[in-house]
Structure 1
Amino acid sequence: MSRLYGDPIEVWVRDGQPVRFVWRDRLYVVRQILDHWVVAREWWKTSATDPGERRFWRVEAQSGTYELRYDTATDAWLMLRAWD
């Protein structure tokens, strides 16, 4: 069963991929990247200097599977979904 969140998180990245993150004051170490995809924002919401991509990762960490999102326009990470 999965749960939706949308909580801001702090993420450490290596070679463009998340390697660990803090969510609700707990550190999670990414064991495996399960999936990665990129969604371009609507053209009318972008600028010439920032295409406004949203980058998604589904990762496995020590206590479950998580879906993380990075928004290039805001330079912010979110915890989108967690599976038990």
Structure 2
Amino acid sequence: MSRLYGDPIEVWTREGQPTQFVWRDRLYLVRRVLDQWVVAREWWKTREGDPGERQFWRVEASPGRDLGSYELRFDTASEGWLLLRAWD
């Protein structure tokens, strides 16, 4: 079962891939990238006409021993990360 969140997170990357993130004051280590995709934003929804991209990652990560799946999003226009979804 998955749950939707949309919570801002802090993410560390290596070579463009997320390696760890902090969500709700807990550090999660990314064990494996399961999927990655990019969606272009519509130019009319931005102020300067620069659409940017939204980069998505589905990862396996854990704050300790419990491994879970998480969907992360990076918005190139705002340079912000969100945790969108988590699977039990």
Residue 9 of structure 1 corresponds to which residue in structure 2? 9
Identity of aligned residues (%): 77
Alignment of 1:15-26 (within 5 A): 15-26=15-26
Aligned length: 83
Residue 88 of structure 2 is aligned to residue 73 of structure 1: no
Which amino acid counterpart does residue 20 of structure 2 have in structure 1? R
Which amino acid counterpart does residue 81 of structure 1 have in structure 2? R
The CA deviation at 1:51 is: 3.5
- In the alignment, the residues of structure 2 paired with residue 76 and residue 45 of structure 1 have an alpha-carbon distance, to the nearest angstrom, of 17
The CA deviation at 1:23 is: 0.1
Unaligned segments of structure 2, at least 5 residues = none
User: Which deviations, in whole Å up to 9, do the C-alpha atoms of 1:38-72 show, x marking residues without a partner?
Assistant: 00001223446x44100000000122000000000
RMSD across aligned positions (CA):
1.2
Residue 86 of structure 2 corresponds to which residue in structure 1? 82
Residue 59 of structure 2 corresponds to which residue in structure 1? 59
Which amino acid counterpart does residue 29 of structure 2 have in structure 1? V
- In the alignment, the residues of structure 2 paired with residue 3 and residue 15 of structure 1 have an alpha-carbon distance, to the nearest angstrom, of 29
Q: Where does structure 1 differ by over 6 angstroms across 4 or more consecutive aligned residues?
A: none
- In the alignment, the residues of structure 2 paired with residue 67 and residue 76 of structure 1 have an alpha-carbon distance, to the nearest angstrom, of 14
Unaligned segments of structure 1, at least 5 residues = none
